[in-house]
Structure 1
């Protein structure tokens, strides 16, 4: 007898499922972005004097704000209504980055590198917005959405480290142009693979009032502000460390006899002629490596932590840890402190983003998640640019920058604690289940049982569910109850409220039928003795 063939559905799902098609696109794109970072580390971008480049960097950062402050609010709804609109954005951003990387190959030592680098930056962040919009439509259910975002974050971290390693080795062999070539090939492959992502309609209809009310809930707004500050801190630290390791000014050239004699005289008079040379390239490698490890750990830790701790507590813990890490970097003022800061910021940003996604699902069950996540992501990317703008314009060292990050994190934490709703009582350790759309009403009693539940409270308008503590009942905090077993109709006066039947106490058997159990008193029952 021939044995049955193995089930190939798992392998087929891995290669052809809609989510895995997006995951492959995301992985190749993340590796290519890492190759761009390696290209910049060995190019004129980090060798030119910071004083000469601050104005240019600030200008390009200001231009980077345009897509998120102007274009996204105007064109975003139209793109969401078009079938395949966000997929077209993914393909276009990958193709645009491939062209920019190709132009980088011959311009790694030219000032043209600056506009090319910021073009790639804008396209990369536009891709992040488009990705956030299509993920909800590519998962099997809303319960899988947070897990899908976690897997994408893990894929990004691993692929980024692989891309940085490959391009770094080639850069050591042939220079930064080789790393740019790796990025170009990667983006071309990304654009081709992205054509396999399904064409979906993110939001066919405008947002309804209930969706707007849920997204304006205090829990969502506080979490959004905290996540935006975290994203701004990421941009701030990125450019803070970039300028910190580049050095401030060039030293005196003493290659000729006259300049050497002048330098000797200046040294005798106490004048510093060594300048502030740029840090070795491997310093950038250490910071990038720690950032990748931090993002990997954060993406891996967040789903497990979410099953034990409420999302609000996760965000608050992340802000506290970021503040402590920033203070450590400020007091250490060395490469180790910068690496710790990079690790803490990357892991905190990954954990905080996944916590925010989960909180939105919990607090806004009637929202269109594709549209909502795209809008929030556009705002977060704008916060990143604003954070990066500060160290690009104002010369800051690691000490001042570390204290600034700590102040921002502490401010966000205190604001979160003060601004939370007064009735909020989320335990530090709580295991919850995501509530599907339309949930919240108490399910009808099973057949054969006596309905002994309290009368239904009056309906409320959207947005009052979180602000009125009287609406929070035990049924909202427990999963749906199973059907009552056969033969329990005489005892289960309310299967959802039934207590476990004790069969023995200290070894002495107890007959549960010996005495008819008395139903629990209703909240609206009153004592008839006084009538």
Structure 2
């Protein structure tokens, strides 16, 4: 792992915590750092996704007959599960052992999204739209997993890793807002196809940026027994369950509101407002968590996140309407961002021998899978928004109760 320091080894000082960080080339001190290159690639990825979403929300989404389209959406979401549930556990470890393997996955996800966006522009009015749109969703999730695997190789310590994740979350929110401006203008001038076409161009630029990422090896050695035991510890297991439930709530709320707004005949700006408040929540979460971690434990941040979701769910169930949707979206953005950073810190603390890149990719795969399952529920069973807000409150209340019981058992030595 290059130079061995106390921060780059496990407490035993024998094994590195993750892939060797890649520094600046001493022959080119002016060149951007590996993290800067990843940040640029990430900005292109989230900007392209935002443009694609704006184009579809403004054109295809509001012209669909959801009564007949519901089964197609459910089918393709089910197909989306396959890459994460079956392919990722088998292919992921092999990719991690190849030098530059994850970089090529990121490059491929960018290139395929550029091509798929181009085809979506041509097929917006045909049945080919469905597989192409959900192909975009799969590529987005695959990018997110590979990004999680690559981040540790761009920093030099666990402390830097926490800050890097926070910076990327902040960057995501800013990039989405910036992309929304030309996206909205293009939609007003040329419709959804023009906005999606701009997204294709952004993904093409992102492909070029991704090629500049350093070709690191995420995990040169297979997962060892010590790593497996640490990752199966009760503290990490309970935390990952809590984090999974929060991701499931995010997926559930996203699709429930999309279908509810569509059925109510809501104007496009209302859906845009809710999406904007969600991004504001992510942005606020990325700013708040680093300060929270200085005054309280990661477990308390997770508990507080679940409690806030529960309270917000109850309040918005009574408020209902656009105000309730915007408020719950923002609070879920804040809490999901806070919980994710707290979870990452728990893993770093309780699994010192675990390879960071491989570990975060593994958990991110699980979280993406639960997100899809959460999104499936309001598609299979039509749920009014106010009822859905209440269900989120109930789910969060159960989750916080189970997590608190689990923590008590851990402290009592019963697990």
Q: TM > 0.5 between the two?
A: yes
CA distance in 1, matches of 2:177, 2:126: 27
* Alpha-carbon contact 1:44-1:111 (below 8 Å) kept: no
Matches for 1:390-401 after TM superposition, within 5 Å: 390-401=377-388
The Cα shift of 1:303 comes to 1.1
How much is the aligned-residue C-alpha RMSD, in angstroms? 1.8
1:305 matched to which residue of 2? 292
Determine which of 156, 165, 170 is the counterpart of 1:140.
156
Structure 1 gaps of 5+ residues are 1-8, 248-275, 426-466, 470-531
Task: Supply the distance in 2 between the matched residues of 1:336 and 1:59 (Cα, whole angstroms).
Answer: 31
Partner residue in 1 for 2:81? 65
Question: Partner residue of 2:126?
Answer: 110
Instruction: Give 1:13 shift.
Output: 6.9
Residues of 2 paired with 1:123 and 1:359: CA distance?
A: 28
Q: Any residues of structure 2 matched to 1:349-428 within 5 Å, and which?
A: 349-422=336-409, 424=411
Residues 287, 338 of structure 1: 8 Å contact kept: yes
1:268-287 CA distances to partner (integer Å, 9 max, x unpaired)?
xxxxxxxx5x2101111101
Higher helix fraction (1 or 2): 2
Which blocks of at least 5 consecutive residues in structure 2 are unaligned?
1-24
Aligned: 1:19 with 2:6: no
1:333 to 2:320 alignment: yes
Q: Distance in 2 between matches of 1:98 and 1:305?
A: 39
Q: Which structure is richer in relative contact order (CA contacts within 8 A, separation 6 or more)?
A: 2
Match of 1:492 in 2: none
Q: Distance in 2 between matches of 1:377 and 1:284?
A: 27
- Tell me, yes or no, if the aligned pair for 2:35 and 2:154 is still in contact at 8 Å: yes
The structure that has the greater radius of gyration is 1
Match of 2:219 among 188, 203, 209: 203
SS in 2 for 1:16: coil
Cα offset, 1:68, TM superposition: 0.4
> Deviation of residue 212 (structure 1)?
1.1
Deviations 1:279-334 (A, max 9, x none): 10111110111011111001111111111110000010000111111122211121
C-alpha contact 2:310 2:392 (8 A) present in aligned 1: yes
TM-score normalised by length of structure 1: 0.71
Size of the aligned set, in residue pairs, is 390
CA distance in 1 between counterparts of 2:102 and 2:373 reads 25
- The question of whether the paired residues in 1 share the 8 Å contact of 2:234 and 2:410 is answered with no
CA contact (8 A) 1:234 1:384 kept: yes
After alignment, is 138-147 or 225-234 more displaced? 138-147
1:39 corresponds to: 55
CA deviations over 1:175-223 (Å, ceiling 9, x no partner): 0011101100100000100001001111111111111111111111111
Whether 2:89 is the aligned partner of 1:87: answer no
Q: 1:423 Cα shift?
A: 5.9
Matches within 5 A, 1:148-187: 148-187=164-203
